[in-house]
Chains A and B, each alone.
Chain A
Amino acid sequence: MSTTSLPSVAGSRFTGARALGLLLRSGAVVALVAACIFGAMRYYAFATPENVVNVLRQNSMLGLVALGMTFVILTGGIDLSVGSLLAVAGVVAAMLSTHGSLPAIAGGLGTAMLLGIVNGVLIAKVRIQPFIVTLAMLIAARALALAATAEQSVTVSPDASALSWLGRGELGPVPLPVALLVLAYLIGWTMLRYTRFGRYLYAIGDSEDAARLMGLPVDRIVIATYALSGALAGLGGIVLAARLGAGQPVAGTGWELDAIAAVVVGGTLLTGGQGGAGSTLVGVLLLGVIFNLFNLEGTISPWWQWVLRGVFLLGVVIVQGRLQRRLTHE
C-alpha cells in the first residue's frame, strides 16, 4: 500500500525507487520502522510471530473504525460518534445472537449504519456542522446502548458460531479479525483510488462548493460516507463483541480520539481532500506498537505512559507536517 498521503500525482506510475523515496518521506512510516527496530533490539519478545499477530489482532478493531474515520475526514468532516456506534453494534449483535449469527451480524451492522445515515442526513440535508452532529450522536448512541442493555454486558450466545468465528476464528495462521482488517483496507484503498465514489470524497474535501458546482451529488456522497463510517465502526463493534464474547454498552469509549489520532498520525489532513487508507493503517499500527512496547517494558507508570503518548503524538505530527510542507513546496 503506498502512502497516498503525499501529494503524489494520482495515476502516475511508481517506480520502486520513487515509491521508497515517498515512503521514507512519510513521517509515520519512518516512526513505525524506528519503533519496530527499537522494540526488536530491546525486547526478546517483540519480533516474535506471536507478538506480531498480537499487535495486528489487537488493533484490528480500531483499524476498522479508523478506516471509516479516514473516509469522513477526507471529505473534510469528522465523526465523533464511532465509539458509541461500535458499542451499539456490539450490543445489538449480542442481543440478537440467540436468533443466530446472521440476524446478529446484520442487525448490528444495520443499526450502526442507520445511525451513520442519521449523522449524514443531519450534516448534508439539515446542514449542521459534522462536529456537532456527531458529538450529539456520541452522546445519544451511548445512551441507546446503555438503555437497551440496562447498563449490563450482554453475552454472545454460544450458538451463534459464525458470529464468534468473526472474533476468534483463524484462517491458517491469520486470526480472522486481522484478515478482515487487511481485506477492509485493500477494499478501502482500491475504492479511494479507483472508484468514482472514492475520488468524490477527495473532491468534496478539497472544496465542497467546487464539487457541488461541478455537479457532484454532494449530499448523497456525504450521507453515504457517514453511513460507511457507521458501518465500519459497527463491524469493529461486532468483531469486538465476538472476540470478547459479550456486547458491552461501554465499549469503545474514547475510541473516536484514538481513531482521529491514528488518521492524523498517518498523514491524512483534517482539512480534508488529502490523505488515504494506507497511511491510516500505518498510523493505527504505530499507535498500537507504542502500547505494545509500554506493555513489554511493563514498568512505566500509567501516567508517564500518558505523557509519553502525548509527546510522541505531537512529535510525529510535527515531523509529518514539516515533511509534507517541504514536499508541497518542491
Chain B
Amino acid sequence: MTGAAPPALLRMEGITKTFGSARALDGVDLTLRRGEVHALVGENGAGKSTLVKIMTGAYHRDSGEMWLDGERVDFDTPAQAQAAGVCAVHQEIHLLTHRTVAENVYLGREPRRWGFVDWRRMNHETGALLAGLGLDIDPRAVVGTLNTARQQMVAIARGVSLGAKVLVLDEPTSSLSPREVTILYDLVRRLKAQSTAIVYISHRFDELYAICDRVTVLRDGRLVSSHDLASLDRLDLVCLMLGKSRDALRAGTTAFGEQRHAPAASLTAPQPPLLRTEAIARGSRLRGVSLEVAAGEIVGVAGLLGSGRTETARAIFGAAPSEQGAVYLGGRRLDPQSPDDAIAAGIGFVSEDRKAEGIIPELSIRENLTLAALPMLTRFGIVSRSRQVEIVERFMRRLGIKAASADQRIRELSGGNQQKVLLARWLCTEPRLLILDEPTRGIDIGAKGEIQALVNELAASGLGVLMISSELEELVEGSTRVVVLRDGRSVAVLQGDEISQQAIIHAMASERAPAAQDAAS
C-alpha cells in the first residue's frame, strides 16, 4: 500500500492496542497523504477513535510504528503530537466547560504581553477567528452555557486554529445542524487546499461521499482495506464495514422496513390515546407542547436544535416537571413530578446523552440493565439473582448485545452496545410508553438498523413510542405521525402521506423567531 505517487505525510503500521482482555486494535495500518480527506469507517467499537487517539498521543500503542514526514515519531502526550502538527477534535467534546470560548481556543498558546496573558487580544482574535468561520459566538461566553452544537463548533475552531499538518475530526457532525455542517464542509475544503491531511470519522455516509477522497475501513479492530472513495459505491462500503455480502443487506436507508406508516391496530379503536399532553410548559424553553401517542404507535418529534424536544421528553418523564399544562397517561392525569412517578406509571426514557445521563460507567452490564427494574426483581428486600441473570441473558440475546460477559463494565462497550443496554434497561420494566431521545446518535449503520428494527417491533407489539430525532430520514420512515416543535411550542402534526422531509423542514423553520440562529439551510 505504500504507493509511489504522492509521498505519505503520516504513516502508521501494525498498530496494536489492548484494553484489559479486549483487543481494540490489531495490526492496523493507515497512510495519510498531504491534502487529502481520509475517511475512517467501521462499526461502533471497530477501533476508529482508539486509532486516532494513538495517532495524537492520547493513548499509547502496544506495538507498531508511526512516521511523520518520513521520520519515526513516538508521541507520549497530546502536547508532543500537537507540537509536531498532529491535532484532533475528539468524539466526546473535550472542552473546559467553566472557561470562556476564547480561553478554550487559545489554551496552551495564550497571547502574552510582557509575560502576562493578554485577554483583550485573545478575545479579539478569537472573535475574528469565529467570525471568519461564519460563526456568531461570543468569545467571552462560558463554554458550558453553549448548546452542544456550538460547543462542537468551538472545538473545531480550536482544532483549525492550531494550524495542524494532520487534523483528525472524530464524528464532528453528530450534533450539528445542517447549517453548521455546511460551515464544516467549507472549512475542510479550505484546509485541504492548504494541503492539510484530514482524518474524517463519521457514521453518516452522505458526508463521506460529499467530502472524502479515500477511505480506510476497520472491522473488529482489524484493517479491512483502504480505497479511493470514488471507486467504491455505498453498498460496497457498507459490505466492507459489516463484513457481509451485498445480498445480505437490505436496500432501505433505515431499518423501519415495510410496516412504516402502518397505523397500529389500537389507533382505529375509539380508545383514549396512551399519552396526551396539553400545552405543557416550563421556563423559557418549553412553552406549550401538545401531543398524543397511541399504543402501538411511533410518534416522531422533529425540531431544530434548542426547539425544546429534549425538554418535552424530560417534562413527560418528570425529570424536569412541567409547570403548566397537563400530562395524561392512559386517560388519567399523571403530571409526574419525578422520574419515579413516571416509571411507576409505565414510562421509560432513553436520554440523548448516553455518557452523562445514561450509563453508570463502573457498574456491569447486568447492573446497568436491571437498574430500573430492581423493585420488580426484589423479594423480601433481596434482589433475586437468578431472575436478574435470566432477564439479562434474555435481553442480551434478543438485542444482540456484544460483550465479553454480562459482568463486563458498561464503559468498556462501544456506543451502540451501550445504547442497546439502555434500551433493555427500560424494556425489562415492561413499559407502556417509551421515550427515545436521539436513540441512534453516534451509532454505526449496522447497530442503527438493529435498534430501528427493534423499536419497530416493540411498537408492533403494542408499545407506544415517542421518538426524538434529528435525522429526518429516520422520522420519515419510522413514524406514524410527526410532531414538529418550534421555539418550545408544538406547531404542526404531520400524518400519513403528509410526512416528508420537505414538509418537516418547512414546519421546523418557517416563521422562526429572530432570536434563533440555527436556521436550516
CB of B506 within 8 Å of the partner chain = no
| Complex contact B103–A207 (CB within 8 A) | no
Q: Which of A9, A202, A217 has most B Cβ within 10 Å? A: A9
| Complex contact A210–B58 (CB within 8 A) | no
| Complex contact B117–A207 (CB within 8 A) | no
| Stretch from B108-116, B193-201, B319-327, B372-380 forming part of the interface with A | B108-116
Q: Among the listed B100, B102, B115, B122, which residue makes an inter-chain contact with A195, where contact means beta carbons less than 8 Å apart? A: B115
| Complex contact B94–A199 (CB within 8 A) | no
Find chain A residues with CB under 8 A from B83 CB: 215
| Complex contact A11–B97 (CB within 8 A) | no
| Complex contact B99–A11 (CB within 8 A) | no
CB of B96 within 8 Å of the partner chain = yes
Q: Among the listed B77, B103, B110, B119, which residue makes an inter-chain contact with A212, where contact means beta carbons less than 8 Å apart? A: B77
CB of B447 within 8 Å of the partner chain = no
CB of A194 within 8 Å of the partner chain = yes
Taking the nearest CB of chain A, how far is it from the CB of B165, in angstroms? 15
Find chain B residues with CB under 8 A from A203 CB: 96, 99, 103, 107
| Complex contact B79–A207 (CB within 8 A) | no
Instruction: Please encode chain A, from 1 to 34, with 1 for each CB lying within 8 Å of some chain B CB and 0 for all others.
Output: 0000001011110000000000000000000000
Distance in angstroms between the alpha carbons of A195 and B117 in the assembled complex: 5
Instruction: Please encode chain A, from 186 to 215, with 1 for each CB lying within 8 Å of some chain B CB and 0 for all others.
Output: 000010011110011011001101111111
Find chain B residues with CB under 8 A from A211 CB: 96, 107
CB of B354 within 8 Å of the partner chain = no
Known A215-B82, A217-B77; 6 more pairs at CB < 8 Å: A7-B98, A10-B100, A195-B115, A203-B96, A207-B95, A211-B107
CB of A273 within 8 Å of the partner chain = yes
| Complex contact B110–A209 (CB within 8 A) | no
CB nearest neighbor in B for A194: B116
Binding site for A on B (CB under 8 A): 56, 58, 77-79, 81-83, 88, 90, 94-100, 102-104, 107-108, 110, 112, 115-117, 119-120, 122-123, 140-142, 158
| Complex contact A202–B99 (CB within 8 A) | yes
CB of A216 within 8 Å of the partner chain = yes
Instruction: Please encode chain A, from 208 to 233, with 1 for each CB lying within 8 Å of some chain B CB and 0 for all others.
Output: 01111111110000000000000000
Taking the nearest CB of chain A, how far is it from the CB of B163, in angstroms? 13
Q: List 6 A-B contacts (CB under 8 A).
A: A9-B100, A199-B110, A206-B97, A211-B107, A213-B56, A273-B96
Q: Among the listed B100, B108, B112, which residue makes an inter-chain contact with A214, where contact means beta carbons less than 8 Å apart? A: B108
Taking the nearest CB of chain A, how far is it from the CB of B129, in angstroms? 16
Taking the nearest CB of chain B, how far is it from the CB of A220, in angstroms? 10
CB nearest neighbor in B for A193: B117
| Complex contact B142–A7 (CB within 8 A) | yes
| Complex contact A11–B120 (CB within 8 A) | yes
| Complex contact B82–A210 (CB within 8 A) | no
Instruction: Please encode chain A, from 256 to 288, with 1 for each CB lying within 8 Å of some chain B CB and 0 for all others.
Output: 000000000000000001100000000000000
Q: Among the listed A193, A194, A210, which residue makes an inter-chain contact with B94, where contact means beta carbons less than 8 Å apart? A: A210
Distance in angstroms between the alpha carbons of A206 and B120 in the assembled complex: 22
Distance in angstroms between the alpha carbons of A206 and B104 in the assembled complex: 11
| Complex contact B78–A215 (CB within 8 A) | yes
| Complex contact B94–A209 (CB within 8 A) | yes
Q: Among the listed A9, A190, A193, which residue makes an inter-chain contact with B142, where contact means beta carbons less than 8 Å apart? A: A9
| Complex contact B78–A207 (CB within 8 A) | no
Asked, given contacts A213-B78, A215-B79, A273-B96, whether A11 binds B102 with beta carbons under 8 Å apart, the answer is yes
| Complex contact A274–B98 (CB within 8 A) | yes
Taking the nearest CB of chain B, how far is it from the CB of A125, in angstroms? 12
Find chain A residues with CB under 8 A from B115 CB: 195
